[in-house]
Structure formats: C-alpha cells, structure tokens
A and B are shown apart, each in its own frame.
Chain A
Amino acid sequence: MSLDEPILSRRGLGRLGVAAATLAAVGAVKAASTPAEAQATGGTIKVGVLHSLSGTMAISETTLKDVMLMLIEQQNKKGGLLGKKLEAVVVDPASNWPLFAEKARQLISVDKCAAVFGCWTSVSRKSVLPVFEELNGILFYPVQYEGQECSRNVFYTGAAPNQQAIPAVDYLMKENKVKRWVLAGTDYVYPRTTNQILEAYLKMKGVAQEDIMINYTPFGQSDWQNIVSSIKTFGSAGKKTAVVSTINGDANVPFYKELGNQGIKATDIPVVAFSVGEEELAGVDTKPLLGHLAAWNYFESVDTRENKAFIKEWKAFTKNPKRTTNDPMEAHYIGFNMWVKGVEKAGTTDPDAVIDALIGVSVPNLSGGYSALMPNHHITKPVLIGEIQPDGQFNIVSETPGLVVAQEWSPYVEDTKDLIGDWRAPLKCGAFNVKTGTCTSGKKA
C-alpha cells in the first residue's frame, strides 16, 4: 500500500474534511445527547414515550402517545410528582424493531427517564427487554399479549391470555351453545400461544379434534375470500360454529369487510376477536358486523362516571369529538396512575425503590373497580365481552363478576405449568418452579 500524493497538499486538505465530517458526525451523536443529561438533575422528572409514530404500527400506537401526553399534562396540573414537573420525552421507533432497542437505550441512559411507557407488538417488547434489564429501567407495557414472560423491569398492564380468551370462549359455549370452533390468527407468537391455550382448554371441555379448525395467515393479509368461504363451509356441518380471531391490526379491516360481504351474520357464525377494538373498527362500516364480538378489559361504552370523565377529557385534549378510546389506553391510564402512586410511596424515582413499591399498588380502573398490581407484575382486570354495534361501539353483554388475576405462565404449556412469577422480597424470581423449588430464570439480586 502506498500513497500517490503527499498527505498535506491543498486537495488533500479538502479530503481531510471528509474524515473530519465522519468524526464530527459521530461526535454529534454525543453532542445531541449531552444536553439532556444536564437537564436530568434539574426540576423535572422525565417520562419516556416509546410508541411508533410512523410505519405499520403507527395506526395503533399514535393514540397511545397522545394519551400519555394527556396523562402527563393532567398530572402536572395536579402539581406534578414529588414536587417536580413531569416531562414527556417522545421518540419515534418507526415500527422498526432494532430501532426500538436503540431508542429504549436512549430514553434510559441518555434522557434518564424515570419510567418508559411503550411498545405494542410482542417483538418490540422482546427487542427492548434486554435493554431494560441491563440498564435497570422501568417499562409499562399496555397491550394484551401471549404471557410466558415475567421480567423484573416490565409491568404488564395489558391482559394475559386468561384475562381475555378463556372467558370469551366460556361465554360463547354457554350463551350460543357453540360446538365447533375456528381459531383464526395471524402467524405470530400471540395468536399461536392463545390458540395453543384455547385448543387445550376446548379439548378439556370435550370438543373433538375435528371440531376445531386452526388457520394462520400472514401479516397484512388483504384477500380473505377463500378463507372466509372455508369458514362458512366449516360452519355448515350442522353444529353451531364460532370463530375466535386473533387476527392482527391491518388485516382486520379487509377480513371484516369480506365477512360482511359474504353475509356471515353474527347470529349464524359469531366471530369473537381479541385484537379488534374501537380504534380498528373506526375504519370499517360496522352495520353488517352487528353482533360480532370482542373480549377486552375495557370498552368505550362502559357506563361509569370515571369513564365518562376520561372520555370527556380525551376529546377535549385531542380537540376531536370523534376520537375513540380503547383498551390499551385504559391500560396506560391504569399503569401511569400506578407508577405515580408507586413513586409517591417510594418517595423517589430510583428504579429499585419504585419497582419494589409498585407491587400491591391499587388504583381505580375505568370500569368501576380497582386494579391491583400483583407480585407477578401483571394487574387484575375485569373481563368484558361486547358485541359490535352499528355505530362502531360495543354493547357489553357479559362481565366477569370479579377481577381476574393474570396467569403469566400458561398452565397449558408443559414446560411452564409449574412456574410462577413473584417479585416480592424473599422469592424475587420471574420464573419460580414450584415443583423443584428453583428459580429457572430472571433471578435478580
């Protein structure tokens, strides 16, 4: 290797500029991050908001960013927290999973956020999980998910499978005498787990294998013609049939449009969905969908004083009288209030103190009860079942009598049926095997 010119000629100087620019760019990353560090010790407590504002998940997550901004504004009006104002740090992970991890790292280590509220998909949570555990951050995750996880640094305010799926199936069995089941889902981990649990549960209830049809479709499936028609065929076997749908996000609108067009009425083959809420239905003409069901822990139509106040504030905050509310929003509402209470209880935002203080905290939910944070870092919730109305809202047709405690480890999966998560003092373990008395993972001093 040899140089064809002396290093510091005039033209060479220009080229040095390139190198300088490279260095400057790297340096600028640091520069961009340092002012935030200086502020962290000032008069505010920072709260990270890690929701995609662009890309495929923006459709669902943008609302959650807005609701966080509203909750923080309200808390500040009440005088902030520990005498300090709260400050939201909003970033856009752009529906890009490695970017989620990068942004999580930024929120914790650069912006010094006391807690982060964020993620929607399981993969985004899985992507940030090692970061939160490494840097000892606090994440509030507001979406219903597949369970099988119990991290010390994550608080799961959405439903575990037993807080959503099983009560819905029970309802259909009892109320509609359903004997035949179609389990239709998008091919990823949440539908797979939910269907695994449901299949075991249905068999336990005496449903034969040939009366269960399982179908997986890719993300964003937009042509549902022959799947809907095969559901119709499956349903023409003389037994009452229902569809349990774990179809995700984008694919729901074309699915429901096809159902409506092929004339599958809820009185013939009801569809109960676990990922379809008010927000998703905003894009569909719901008149043909009258009576199809969804199971959640909250509906906008819940008839309580707290909920009416929340909806009113939400519409005022977004200055849009048509904005709907939905279940993950309620989860953030509960999670945020729990965090506030936990910080007040601990008297500091120090993560270790807050994580310990949060267990046992109980705050009002929007359906008229109190949700408590259990030692497994999940919360107690009521399960509501609603039928779709022509106006895009849900008519609540069933409600569990009490609150349901989350089963973070599925009792229907061989390897996890003996596991429990308990982050209280003596045990402090996310996956404790009650048979062998050992902590398989997630042990933190």
Chain B
Amino acid sequence: MKLDRTSFITLIAVMGAALVLALLNQMTAAASAAHVPTYVIALAGKYLCFAMLALAVDLVWGFAGILSLGHAAFFALGGYAMGMYLMRQIGTRGVYGNPNLPDFMVFLGWKALPWYWTGFEWFGFAILMAMLVPAVLAGVFGWLAFRSRVTGVYLSIITQALTYALLLAFFRNDMGFGGNNGMTDFKDILGFNVQADSTRSALLVISAVVLCGQFLLARFVVDSRFGKILIAVRDTESRTRFLGYRPESYKLVVWVLSAIMAGIGGALYVPQVGIINPSEFAPGNSIEAVIWVAVGGRGTLVGAILGAIIVNFGKTWFTGALPEVWLYALGAMFIFVTLFLPRGVMGLVRTSAPKEPEPETPAVAAAHEVTG
C-alpha cells in the first residue's frame, strides 16, 4: 500500500508527539522545566480519541457522502461498554461495598445485575462489545436506511433522531446504565490504577497507536478498489447503480466500519476522562464531530485528525482564557472556516493536489436546485 507524504508525516507526528509527551511526563522530575504535567497527558489523550471519532466521520462523509449527524452515538456506545467494564472492576471498593452491583444500582434498590451486564467483568468481552454494539446498531440502521435509499439530508436528520432517542433512553434510570450521572469514579483498568500518571501515559501512547492503526486502515480502504467505488457513489450514486454496482452494500460496509472505529475511540476515551454519561449522545456532539472534519478538511483523513485536535485545543484554551466570550471565538472560527477555507486547513496545505474531490460536483448542484 502506498502512503503519501502527508499521511506519513501525520503518522510520525501523532506517534512522536504522544511518545515524547509520555516520556517527558514519566522520565523527568515534576520540578524540571521539561516536565509535562499529567494535565497535558490527559488532554492529549482526549484529543486523540476525538480524532478517532473525526476519522470515522470523515470516512463516511468524505468518501461515501453520508453526512452522519449521529456518529457520537457510536462513540458513546463504545464508551459505555468500556464504562461497564470499569464499573465491574471497582468491586467492593464502591461506596456501598457491594461486590456485584455498581453503586447506582444499589442505590436504586436493584437486587441483581441485569442480564445485559453479564460478561463485562472481562476486558476482552468489553472491548468486543465496544465494537460489536456500534456495529450491530449501525448494521441494522444502515441496512434499513440504505436499502430504502434514504439519502442526503433525510439521512442526516434520522441519524440525529437516532442519537437523540439514545440520549433520552440512556437518561432513564430504569435502563440500568446509571441515568443522568452515568458511570464514574473508576479505579482500575487491567489491574492498573486509572488515575496513576503511568497509566495515563500508557493510555495516551495506546490511543496514538490505535489512531495510527485506524488511519492506516481508513487509508487502505479508500485507496482500494472498494474505495474508488465509494467515491463514485458519493459523487453520483445513481450512475454507479446503473453501472451495475449495488451502492447500498458499499455504503453499509463502510458505515459499519466507521461505527466500529468510533466505538473504539469511545472505549479509549472513557478511562482517560473518567466519566461516561448520556450527554455524550447529545446531538450537538455529533454536529461538532462533523465540524472538526470540516475544519480539518473533508475527504482527506489527515484533515479529520488535524481538525479534531485544532478545534478541541481551541475549546480548551478559550474556555480557560476567555470564559465569558469563548463561544464568539468558537462560532466565528466555524463560520470563518466554512466561508474562507472550504477545504479546511488541509486546503491550505495541499492547494495543488489534483486528486482532491470537488465539493460541488454538477450533480450536487443540480440536486440542490431540483430539491430546492
């Protein structure tokens, strides 16, 4: 598989930055000038997980033309799977000291663990579920939606309905996922203390490795013959169909793959931020993920990673430095990027790249006019 220069540099940068930060955090004394505080490690880990979500969004939006406004749902489901594992690891160290039930269940008077919690005490099972649950949901949803040719904004809106319904469902205390408070106060992951600096550093490096792996996988998919057909589907779905392909099958495969990638991102996100709760399903989160991709540059994969890091760094910085007016800054950033950088930050970098898809193909413009 051929890897272009930008991709290569991105891989090196992500891996390098993660390793350097982790090493500086671990190897240097807290007082030394070169020391990286754990705060930065936690932040960087969080950004990388968001980058996985962005990568997943870019794969379906940038290459298959499916604008998902509900991708954070898959991310959150992966997060919940990991959260359930972490809850089970607390064991008797919970507030009530109940060896089987998480605190919130004891508190609501539950007597036994519901059946769907079975198996989450095993790490492997939790990771499997973090991929399987988003995959099954995406599979069912996509099979129904693509088969009946729900496209464009209709699809976007029903993905939003999906995440909104999940948001409401997970808010319910009767669901057995901790209601509004969700899951928190985790202790161990695979026997390591989740709050220890070394665990955090390790998680950061693992996140970087996984992100790079996902990136390579995505690159491989879009560069393959399969990817070419996806791009054809994106640009003119009906023409691809007339050529004898079945666009719905191609879309479904990439859609499920993307959901799995988001789920893994969520699973890595939870131990690093220490909480998972229904607000991760909020429709706004999914829209934000799309914005990361747009800021970085749609259909470039590298742009998705960049966008997620830039926007989230902006958010971290603005909320601390300009707490009263940061929404102006963030909102202005989105408007500026869409107006002046239609291809995102990556548009600045590779102005000369000829392969870049035209965002406005005649078909899209025509579609707009007719539906309009």
- Asked if A and B form a direct contact in the complex, defined as CB atoms under 8 angstroms apart, the reply is yes
Q: Is A14 an interface residue (CB 8 A)?
A: yes
Q: Which of A28-36, A156-164, A284-292 contacts B (4 or more CB under 8 A)?
A: A28-36
Is the Cβ of A22 less than 8 Å from the Cβ of B17?
A: yes
- Chain B count of residues within 8 A CB distance of the other chain: 70
What is the predominant secondary structure among interface residues of chain B facing chain A? helix
Would you give the 0/1 interface string for A114-126, flagging 1 where the beta carbon is closer than 8 Å to chain B?
0000000111001
Is the Cβ of A33 less than 8 Å from the Cβ of B40?
A: yes
Complex: chain B residue closest to A188, CB-CB: B180
**Given A33-B37, A192-B173, also A99-B319 (CB < 8 A):** yes
Residues of A within 8 A of B326 (CB): 54, 92
Would you give the 0/1 interface string for A73-101, flagging 1 where the beta carbon is closer than 8 Å to chain B?
00000000000000000111110111101
**Given A3-B3, A101-B274, A102-B316, also A15-B38 (CB < 8 A):** no
Q: Is B42 an interface residue (CB 8 A)?
A: yes
Is the Cβ of B8 less than 8 Å from the Cβ of A26?
A: no
Q: Is A415 an interface residue (CB 8 A)?
A: yes
Is the Cβ of A148 less than 8 Å from the Cβ of B274?
A: no
Is the Cβ of A93 less than 8 Å from the Cβ of B319?
A: yes
Cα distance, A188 to B171, chains bound together (Å): 7
Complex: chain A residue closest to B220, CB-CB: A1
Q: Is A17 an interface residue (CB 8 A)?
A: yes
Q: Is B185 an interface residue (CB 8 A)?
A: yes
Is the Cβ of B313 less than 8 Å from the Cβ of A28?
A: yes
Q: Is B108 an interface residue (CB 8 A)?
A: yes
Residues of B within 8 A of A440 (CB): 95-97
Selected from B40, B95, B180, B275, the residue in CB contact (under 8 A) with A431 is: B95
Is the Cβ of B317 less than 8 Å from the Cβ of A131?
A: no
Selected from A4, A5, A103, A187, the residue in CB contact (under 8 A) with B172 is: A187
Residues of A within 8 A of B108 (CB): 192
Cα distance, A121 to B277, chains bound together (Å): 13
Q: Is B136 an interface residue (CB 8 A)?
A: no
Complex: chain A residue closest to B269, CB-CB: A98
CB distance from B192 to the nearest CB of A (A): 14
Q: Is B202 an interface residue (CB 8 A)?
A: no
Complex: chain B residue closest to A12, CB-CB: B5
Residues of A within 8 A of B310 (CB): 25
Q: Which of A104-112, A320-328, A352-360, A393-401 contacts B (4 or more CB under 8 A)?
A: A104-112
Residues of B within 8 A of A11 (CB): 5, 352
Is the Cβ of A1 less than 8 Å from the Cβ of B94?
A: no
Q: Is A130 an interface residue (CB 8 A)?
A: yes
Cα distance, A18 to B346, chains bound together (Å): 9
Cα distance, A285 to B195, chains bound together (Å): 49
Is the Cβ of B185 less than 8 Å from the Cβ of A19?
A: no
CB distance from B325 to the nearest CB of A (A): 9
Cα distance, A366 to B181, chains bound together (Å): 32
**Given A17-B349, A18-B13, A126-B184, also A91-B5 (CB < 8 A):** no
Q: Is B39 an interface residue (CB 8 A)?
A: yes
Q: Is B309 an interface residue (CB 8 A)?
A: yes
Q: Is A414 an interface residue (CB 8 A)?
A: yes
Chain B CB within 10 Å — which of A98, A121, A127, A148 has the most? Answer: A98
Q: Is A204 an interface residue (CB 8 A)?
A: no
A-B contact pairs, 22 of them (CB 8 A): A18-B10, A18-B13, A18-B306, A22-B14, A30-B40, A33-B37, A91-B320, A92-B326, A94-B319, A97-B277, A101-B274, A103-B319, A105-B39, A122-B181, A123-B275, A130-B186, A131-B274, A187-B173, A192-B173, A218-B168, A440-B96, A441-B94
Closest 10 CB pairs of A and B: A19-B13, A188-B180, A92-B323, A440-B97, A98-B273, A19-B9, A92-B319, A127-B275, A22-B13, A134-B195
Query: Which residues of B are at the interface with A, using a C-beta cutoff of 8 A?
Result: 1-6, 8-10, 12-14, 16-17, 21, 36-40, 42-44, 46, 93-98, 104, 106-109, 168, 171-173, 179-182, 184-186, 195, 273-275, 277, 279, 302, 306, 309-310, 313, 315-317, 319-321, 323-324, 326-327, 349-350, 352
